[in-house]
A and B are shown apart, each in its own frame.
Chain A
Amino acid sequence: MPLLRHDLYIEPLDAYIDPPFPVDRAIITHAHADHARPGHKNVLATPDTIGLMKTRYGPHAAQNWQELVYETSLSLGDVTLTLYPAGHILGSAQILLEHKSCRAVVSGDYKRRNDHTVHAFTPVTCDIFVTEATFGLPVFRHPDPMQEIAKLLESHRNFPDRSHLVAAYGLGKTQRVISLLRLAGYDAPIYLHGSCWNCTEYYQNAGVKLGVVRKATGLAKDELKGQIVIAPPSALKEPWSRRMNEPVLAMASGWMTVKQRVRQRGIELPLVISDHADWDELTHTIRDTQANDIWVTHGREDGLVHWCATQGLKGAPLHLQGREDEEGED
């Protein structure tokens, strides 16, 4: 009996990792919607992942919640399960499964860059490493995020009368952008679209320092003049954004690397800030794990699988259903 199937079903535990459909037993790597869905009977995850899932879906999104803190092993029959920080968003975890002599790590989504809003990624040696490949092509090399934030602040200085509307995903990216702005010395209040609010509050309650944030809804038109406002990408097209005077449209995402994509989205100020590993981080991490079997999911599998072959590693693409093919939460 194999420990782990390609659809991330753990046979000895009769449990799935990040299943896209409701199951009896789910182990969740992190709280983004394409990994954490409501409706499972039993959910095992880190306390913050469970806290964020409850914040987003309500306390009854699962019947039973089982918290497991980082780096504490849980034995279930002959399988031992340990969660390690993945550095992606608050609470995000890699899942280490040990079964007889086999060690498998399912990394979920991860990054290696410095991020004050999360626990830093910990490399875990293993035999089977399941990696994401959102940015699994060598064209993706994310620049220093502070350099990107400097571009935002420069534009903010150059256009003091315009609002700067930064498109950022509500969970993870929003808080990272706020944290980077604070790190760069920007201490004015930052305004948030309603859908970024609850998760930001959760981060603050969890002890992440984000300074003064305010709701951008229900304000008089002029109040957002010259302010930095964060909203989810979908809100850029809503009438909501028209409440601002000629806002500078920015977006914080790894996709902003490719100019043609920036153009398609109508973004004036692209900020390459990603919560996923870029090409160098992916390849370094695969080496760090010392694994021989690399299962690749979530994005541009072909490139990474090919790279594995050139390194003498066994790479296999997993075409998991329910994952975003192109631009999902990042």
Chain B
Amino acid sequence: MKLFATLLESLLLTPARNAKIGHMVQYFREAPDPDRGYALAVLTGNLSLTNVKSSHLRDLVLQKIDPELFALSYDYVGDLAETIALIWPDTTDDILPTLSELVLDLETRKKSELPGRIAGYLSAGNATERWAIMKLATGNLRVGVSARLAKTALAEFGQKDVQDIEKIWHGIEYPYADLFAWLENRGTLPEIHRHRVFHPMMLSNPIDEKKDFENLKPSDYQAEWKWDGIRVQLVLSDHEKRIFSRTGDDIAAAFPDILDHVGGSAVLDGELLAGRNFQVQPFNDLQQRLNRKTVTSQMLADYPAFIRLYDILFDDEEDVRDLPLNERRLRLASWVARNPSPRLDLSPILDYADWNHLMTLRVQGAEEQGHEGIMLKRYDSPYIAGRPKGPWFKWKRDPRLIDAVLMYAQRGHGKRSSFYSDYTFGVWKDGEIVPVGKAYSGFTDEELLKLDKWVRAHTTNRFGPVREVERKLVFEVAFDSAHHSARHKSGVALRFPRINRIRWDKPPEEADTLSNVERLIA
């Protein structure tokens, strides 16, 4: 546990990517099996103690610490794990078990025994070890390591290609003994069964209109609408049917209407959309179907769903990911022809002459049909897991903009924990400012310092971690779309709002009105 705690702390305190990789490689060398496998699972987000909820940990500490003092401390530290690690009042001379022993113990205990065990471990560690245990228990590391970076370190440790690891990653389980054996040249690359698993998706990068287009040839790129649903992977075989979200969560249970109407054998990539007879309905409709474990027949009737297909990864048993996109597209079309379904169709390919033409299509599509934008994919691109730079681009519609007034600011979490970085803003309605949304991004670190200072200097009221501020500062807020919402007081909800510009110069009287915002509702 000590080694793992030290690793987590080093990762947190090392900003440089290569130095982080160095720390992980060093750890994979030093730590024994199965500990390093458990650590890898934690770093990649594949292992969290499902029986332990952060609310349990909070309850545990609240038996020992005044709730008000705990709340103030949490607000100050901005990280639950660290707050509990620091505030924990007891210490014993007990020896902490190894990482794998600790995980096994906490995974197999009866629920009623858990609090006592965790309390015992917390008391046995020092503040850094307690912090690592808490990170482990809450599954929320926030040490600046992505799953991808951990796999990159793993590849470097074994001097292997990270793509080989990506391809099998979702088919293997911790503590990854076979994987480490292969990395240390003691065994072969583990084989996986394609039907049971999620295959990491290929993702795109936003296009930089000023720089990228001059280097791109229209004849190299297939263009499609960027459909406004959620990206899914459909895995079909004789035995199983699954729908995975982009993050690999199996969401099939909520979509029996689709599964009942599809057959065949393949792994397909597409967009989950709401609509009847392939008539796409707004994202809001789809949202009624998301994040549910079960679904009522009423919902199935009101908000039917379908999948619009983009790509094919496995054609029956054959892995076609290394074929170029144009060949995969032919395979996909032929597969759909052989396996017709009222819930599957093909994402059409747009016909365009040059970038200017495509730009016109993009604006028309956005204005007339509410399209989110356009996808550009190189005809010769293989299907590469992750977000490789170059083969695929997304070209989003121009965001909608409003000028809104800052109303409240809240302290951020993680690396922004001491700063007021979460902003609630509003617009004018009958001579008052009413809140319409909250934004956390879009500003530079430098601007954050200035905003933080401004918030502190213009506070009129404090509610716990939230400060109310004078209605003086105008943000130009960008967002993807606006919707009616019964949940928000203003009756409007914005999708993906972010701060486009800080209008230090603009008087609040010139900010937008609620009716301006309502006009932007799709």
Contact = CB atoms under 8 A, between A and B. Distances in A.
User: Does A pair with B?
Assistant: yes
A138 B15 contact: no
Interface residues of A, number: 25
Contact of B83 (A139, A266, A307, A325): A139
B86 A257 contact: yes
A260 B81 CA distance: 11
A300 B82 contact: no
Contact of B69 (A259, A261, A306): A306
A260 B15 contact: no
Given A141-B86, A259-B12, A310 B72 contact: no
Interface string B133-152: 00000000000100000000
A303 B66 CA distance: 10
A299 B144 CA distance: 29
A330 to B, nearest CB: 15
Contacts of B415: 260, 263-264
A137 B15 contact: no
Given A138-B73, A139-B83, A260 B68 contact: no
Contacts of A141: 86
Contacts of A310: 66
A268 B9 CA distance: 10
Contact of A300 (B13, B68, B72): B72
B76 A137 contact: yes
Given A259-B82, A263-B12, A302 B417 contact: no
Nearest to B19: A268
A14 interface: no
Contacts of B418: 260-261, 264, 326
Contacts of A108: none
B473 interface: no
A247 interface: no
B417 A260 contact: yes
A184 interface: no
A233 to B, nearest CB: 15
B72 A303 contact: yes
B174 to A, nearest CB: 26
Interface residues of B, number: 27
Interface in A265-309: 266-268, 270, 300, 302-303, 306-307
Contacts of B456: 325
Contacts of A260: 12, 77-79, 82, 414-415, 417-418
Contact of A306 (B9, B13, B66, B87): B66
Given A139-B73, A139-B77, A258 B68 contact: no
B434 interface: no
A307 B70 CA distance: 11
B13 A263 contact: yes
Interface string B74-93: 00111100110011010000
B13 A267 contact: yes
Nearest to A303: B72
B131 interface: yes
A138 B65 CA distance: 9
A208 interface: no
A262 interface: yes
Nearest to A140: B86
A143 to B, nearest CB: 8
A270 B82 CA distance: 15
A92 B477 CA distance: 50
B14 interface: yes
B444 to A, nearest CB: 15
B73 A137 contact: yes
A302 B74 CA distance: 13
A268 B13 CA distance: 6
Interface in A135-152: 137-141
Contacts of B417: 258, 260-261, 264
Nearest to A249: B13
A18 to B, nearest CB: 21
Nearest to A270: B13
B69 A263 contact: no
Interface string B1-23: 00000000100111100000000
Nearest to A272: B127
A138 B74 CA distance: 10
A158 to B, nearest CB: 13
Contacts of A262: 13
A50 B72 CA distance: 38
Contacts of B65: 138
A245 B12 CA distance: 23
A149 to B, nearest CB: 17
A137 B74 CA distance: 10
B224 to A, nearest CB: 41
B79 A137 contact: no
B13 A139 contact: no
A66 B159 CA distance: 72
Given A138-B87, A258-B86, A260-B417, A266 B73 contact: no
A309 to B, nearest CB: 9
Which of A139, A257, A267 counts the most B-chain CB atoms under 10 A from its CB? Answer: A139
Interface in B364-420: 414-415, 417-418
Contacts of B66: 306-307, 310
A129 to B, nearest CB: 20
Contacts of A326: 418
A153 to B, nearest CB: 18
Interface in B111-155: 131, 144
Contacts of A258: 77, 82, 86, 417
Interface string A74-87: 00000000000000
A258 B68 CA distance: 19
A306 B72 contact: yes
Contacts of B78: 260
Contacts of B72: 137, 300, 302-303, 306
Contacts of B76: 137, 139, 300
Nearest to B131: A259
Contacts of B13: 259, 262-263, 267-268, 270
9 A-B pairs with least C-beta separation: A139-B86, A260-B417, A139-B73, A137-B73, A303-B72, A306-B68, A139-B87, A138-B87, A138-B69
24 contacts: A137-B73, A137-B76, A138-B65, A138-B73, A141-B86, A258-B77, A259-B9, A259-B13, A259-B82, A260-B12, A260-B78, A260-B414, A260-B418, A263-B12, A267-B13, A268-B14, A300-B72, A303-B73, A306-B66, A306-B68, A306-B69, A306-B72, A307-B69, A310-B66
Given A139-B73, A263-B15, A306-B68, 13 more contacts: A137-B72, A257-B86, A258-B82, A259-B12, A260-B415, A261-B418, A268-B13, A268-B14, A270-B13, A300-B72, A303-B72, A306-B69, A307-B69
Interface of B: 9, 12-15, 65-66, 68-69, 72-73, 76-79, 82-83, 86-87, 89, 131, 144, 414-415, 417-418, 456
Interface of A: 137-141, 257-264, 266-268, 270, 300, 302-303, 306-307, 310, 325-326
